[in-house]
Structure 1
Amino acid sequence: MLVYVIRRVGYMIVALLALTLITFFLMKQAPGSFLTINIMQSGLQTSGHSSYSMDVLQEWSERYHIGEPWYMEYWGYLKGILTWDFGTSFQYPNTPIMSLLVKAFPISLGIALSSIILGLLISIPVGIFAAMRRNTWADSGAMFFSMLGTSIPAYILAVFLIMVFSLYLHWLPSMGWRDLKNYVIPVLALALPMTGSMSRYMRTSLVENLNKDYATTVIAKGGSKRDVIYRHVLRNSLIPLITIIGPHLAGMLMGTVMIEFMFGIPGMGQLFNNAAGSRDYPLIMVSTFLYTLVIMVMNLLVDIIYGLLDPRIRRSGMSD
């Protein structure tokens, strides 16, 4: 397994380098530029509306090789990522990017983890309930509501939850992020749509394993379906569910832009959205790198857990 992990880490490094290069060219091709307001093509020069000091502009010019060939400018961004010295944001020249990430990342991570945990707490029992009563009205009803939850976007569900719990019942606040109550509606809005897909994964995996020889043999010897599920089938059925947990968690860290905007939550999604809108190149590069790194690490962890749960996968896929 150690050789497998080292090989995967090598692939990740190559992929991350390729991604930074693609991100650099894409953001340079986007119309408009933050720096054109303050730095002219003829050299370092402040515009009439600039609020940045010459020292700040000089630092940016030297760090990011403004006006030099593209590969030198790309190296300016890449060097900061490789040395983990991200510098300062164009929008906030007096605040290091690392400080912005330290504030935003835990907020998004907390929302994402809470949503994943709540989704698992709901989806696993629902999947077991549907599998134990497959091809009945209870199974059809559970899968119908699961599909309905998946079909509703998180921001639409958030509006509905605000109307019910904030406007009508007055139980929960509709905005803010400092108190624990502020996170209830955002977490529910993110968890419930995800619960639909995870419930279907759980139900399908359980039904598939219940039809296998080892499960039918236990049932034929007098074992109840409940005992077969909890003692023999559940562990194997969790493996497909793990495949979507990692990507879900990584996607939530940067994919909660609308939810964070609706509730005024200063997380990674809102930070990246502001950076893209203002052409804040350093923050775009760092945010994209961090987001991709999280996705790759999650996928690697999923594969490792795969091997720990199923020795067959460890022998076949991780020994090559």
Structure 2
Amino acid sequence: MGRYILRRFAFSVAALWVIVTLTFLLMHSIPGDPFMGEKVTEAIRLNMLRKYGLDKPLWQQYLVYIGNLLRGDLGISLRMTNRTVNDLIREGFPVSCVLGLEALAFAVTTGLCLGTLAGLKHNSGWDYLAIVVAIIGISVPNFITASILQYVVGYRLRLLPIARWGTFEQSIIPAFSLGLGTLAITARMMRTSILDVINQDYIRTAKAKGLSEAEITWRHTLRNAILPIVTIMGPLIAGITTGSLLIEQIFGIPGLGKYYVQSVYNRDYTLILGTTVFYATILVVMNFLVDVSYGFIDPRIRLLKGRE
């Protein structure tokens, strides 16, 4: 198991390095530079390039960036005066994280409950409800859901605030819109997993032993059915807790997505790289933790890794 963890850690570091390198190369492959559209003289533009080290050869810029990255320095924003990328992330990420955690709590809790009921009560009303929710949640983009809820719930019915951030009421529609897709995926996978588990031999054996339905459900069905959900929780948690770029824009939420969108419009190389690296790190770390935890959750996986 120890060798497996070390190997997964090495793969995670390699994946992160590939993401950083590709993002760096793609950003610098775009024609022009961040200051080409500015109404400044050529001399001022060249001085700006020299100030931020953009006049150096690409390989030197890459080595400098990697060196700074290893020290935890994501650089200085090219567009926001005297603002470092680290400061912008510290300012915006807590808001995105709160929104994501609210959406995650709603999505996972509701999705697991709905998927479990749909699997245990196959071909019932709960089953059909789970199928409808899964179809809507997966097929309808979250920004469409957000716009509809804004108009119906916020504007027409005036039940909740349409936009802005600061109170729990203002976070309900954004969190629901952001979490609906995750809810649909969780419910669908849990339903499928439940239907697969209840037809296994060990479930029939448990019934033959005279165990109660509640004991079979809690000790055998749910414990084994939830394993496939664990495998996808890493990307889901990473994606949803970092917030949504479009959701934050639609509702005027001052999260990290606001800075990311601005950096793309302004061709702010360091901010684009910094936020991309930050998002990628969260995704890689969550995948690593899921890989490791999976071996502890399922003894069969732990035994297999030990043999390796």
* TM-score (ref. length: structure 1): 0.88
How much does 1:286 deviate?
A: 1.2
> Does the 8 Å CA contact 1:89/1:280 hold for their aligned counterparts?
yes
The answer to whether 1:92 aligns with 2:74 is no
The answer to whether 1:18 aligns with 2:18 is yes
Cα distance in structure 2, aligned partners of 1:229 and 1:198: 18
Residue in structure 2 matched with residue 30 of structure 1 by the alignment: 30
> Does the 8 Å CA contact 1:77/1:282 hold for their aligned counterparts?
no
> Does the 8 Å CA contact 1:150/1:197 hold for their aligned counterparts?
yes
Residue in structure 2 matched with residue 251 of structure 1 by the alignment: 239
Cα distance in structure 2, aligned partners of 1:180 and 1:78: 40
Flag the structure with more relative contact order, 1 or 2, with Cα contacts below 8 A and sequence separation at least 6.
Answer: 2
* Count of aligned residue pairs for this structure pair: 308
1:239/1:310 CA distance change after superposition, 3 Å:
same
| Structure 1 unaligned spans of 5+ | none
C-alpha RMSD of matched pairs (Å): 2.4
- Counterparts of residues 90-169 of structure 1 (less than 5 Å): 90-136=78-124, 138-169=126-157
Cα distance in structure 1, aligned partners of 2:153 and 2:14: 47
Residue in structure 2 matched with residue 279 of structure 1 by the alignment: 267
> Does the 8 Å CA contact 1:119/1:195 hold for their aligned counterparts?
yes
Runs of 4+ in 1 over 6 A off after TM superposition: none
Cα distance in structure 1, aligned partners of 2:122 and 2:244: 34
Residue in structure 2 matched with residue 270 of structure 1 by the alignment: 258
> Does the 8 Å CA contact 1:253/1:268 hold for their aligned counterparts?
no
How much does 1:142 deviate?
A: 2.6
Cα distance in structure 1, aligned partners of 2:297 and 2:147: 39
Residue in structure 2 matched with residue 45 of structure 1 by the alignment: 43
How much does 1:284 deviate?
A: 1.2
How much does 1:309 deviate?
A: 0.8
Shifted more, 163-172 versus 290-299: the winner is 163-172
How much does 1:63 deviate?
A: 5.1
What amino acid is aligned across from residue 81 of structure 2 in structure 1?
P
1:232/1:253 CA distance change after superposition, 3 Å:
closer
> Does the 8 Å CA contact 1:275/1:281 hold for their aligned counterparts?
yes
> Does the 8 Å CA contact 2:97/2:242 hold for their aligned counterparts?
no
1:216/1:122 CA distance change after superposition, 3 Å:
same
How much does 1:44 deviate?
A: 8.5
The answer to whether 1:211 aligns with 2:209 is no
Cα distance in structure 1, aligned partners of 2:201 and 2:288: 31
Cα distance in structure 1, aligned partners of 2:174 and 2:195: 32
**CA shift digits 1:144-190 (9 cap, x unpaired):** 33222221111111112112321122221111112222111110001
How much does 1:222 deviate?
A: 3.5
* TM-score (ref. length: structure 2): 0.91
> Does the 8 Å CA contact 2:102/2:175 hold for their aligned counterparts?
yes
How much does 1:224 deviate?
A: 4.2
Residue in structure 2 matched with residue 199 of structure 1 by the alignment: 187
Cα distance in structure 2, aligned partners of 1:162 and 1:278: 29
> Does the 8 Å CA contact 1:253/1:291 hold for their aligned counterparts?
no
**CA shift digits 1:232-251 (9 cap, x unpaired):** 21111111111222111222
1:8/1:231 CA distance change after superposition, 3 Å:
closer
> Does the 8 Å CA contact 1:132/1:226 hold for their aligned counterparts?
no
Cα distance in structure 2, aligned partners of 1:165 and 1:308: 44
Cα distance in structure 2, aligned partners of 1:228 and 1:130: 17
